[in-house]
Structure 1
């Protein structure tokens, strides 16, 4: 069984990823599980740059195939902010409810049709032999008027998914994986990985 490191300390992400890659003969472990404490400085100007930088640097330390994702929330009315700065929006230590409040204030009195937003996910894979892969996907929605739901993490409670009539954080893990940006990008990456691992 191939061990793949996923460059994250977020246990929620590892759970999501293992569920999607469950039928492959791989075990996905976090940086913590692999004993890696290195912090990659995410100073790229795009999701792809950040994802690839993380994958390559962690692969060089762990010497195993490494996956990394850079994802974020783009709010059209806010010129696509917070975008690549989603995790650091208002400072890394700021609790999400405070961030939600700031976003609601910026969108106060903004009608539904102008509250369009999307979650973006870019997944990069770095192999010790120099091979590199990238997949990318999005999920469209609108910024809601309140935070709802107990599932998911990050900005899920304020992201309303019109096709489901629910907030992202109200979806079950299975429902979320079926439509989420990371779920879709991961399934694309899974197909690429299968081909590469067969070589």
Structure 2
């Protein structure tokens, strides 16, 4: 069965494909770059769940395929849970991962590491062309370090250390990160729901 992930992000697509392969599920996972382009909606909701649904609904309507979409980001307690849904645009529209990371590091420069508690949040939405919808949310708790470490992952991974770890997410192997990540947990739960749904 074909399952479309509403993203152009090759790393997110790779994560979903690894989970599908690891769980030996009967899905062929496609990304947006493998299908004809369609007008993509603005992500203007105030919640991760709302933005994920915007994307999955638009994708299913445009392609006629069952669609998954995620919206994810980082919440920093010292910043009143920001960047939140603005995580990908924290340094401004079109900002690079590096620009967003640099801004967050600068904003936390005068704080103690023990106070830099944070979490990654992921909401995954499923929309079927028949109108069926389902949304799941997962988090990964941890704290932020001041100096980026590691070359794996993306986004804020180089400064995020998950609870129980001493390495940043960017120092973990893809398999290690998938096992504990917010997106990995949300995607696995969604795939299990799809299997039960039949």
TM-score higher than 0.5: yes
Do the aligned residues in 2 keep the contact of 1:149 with 1:167 (CA within 8 Å)?
Answer: yes
Do the aligned residues in 2 keep the contact of 1:5 with 1:34 (CA within 8 Å)?
Answer: no
Aligned length: 196
Q: 1:19 is matched with which residue?
A: 18
Q: 2:195 is matched with which residue?
A: 194
Q: 2:3 is matched with which residue?
A: 4
Q: CA deviation at 1:162?
A: 4.0
Q: CA deviation at 1:97?
A: 2.8
**Deviations 1:36-75 (Å, cap 9, x if unpaired)?**
3422200111000100111001100000100000000001
Q: Given the alignment of the two structures, is residue 141 of structure 1 paired with residue 129 of structure 2, yes or no?
A: no
Do the aligned residues in 1 keep the contact of 2:88 with 2:100 (CA within 8 Å)?
Answer: no
3-state DSSP of counterpart to 2:34: coil
Q: CA deviation at 1:100?
A: 2.3
> What is the CA RMSD across the aligned residues, in angstroms?
1.2
Q: CA deviation at 1:98?
A: 2.8
How many Å separate the matches in 2 of 1:96 and 1:87?
7
The 5-angstrom pairing of residues 20-39 of structure 1 reads 20-22=19-21, 23-39=24-40
Q: 1:176 is matched with which residue?
A: 177
How many Å separate the matches in 1 of 2:178 and 2:140?
11
**Deviations 1:103-130 (Å, cap 9, x if unpaired)?**
2222123112210000000000000111
- After TM superposition, the score normalised by the length of structure 2 is 0.95
Q: 1:90 is matched with which residue?
A: 91
Q: 2:76 is matched with which residue?
A: 75
**Structure 2: stretches of 5+ with no match in the other structure:** none
Q: CA deviation at 1:164?
A: 1.9
- After TM superposition, the score normalised by the length of structure 1 is 0.94
How many Å separate the matches in 2 of 1:107 and 1:152?
21
Which of 97-106 and 121-130 deviates more?
A: 97-106
Q: 1:108 is matched with which residue?
A: 109
Q: 1:153 is matched with which residue?
A: 154
How many Å separate the matches in 1 of 2:113 and 2:138?
23
**Structure 1: stretches of 5+ with no match in the other structure:** none
3-state DSSP of counterpart to 1:29: strand
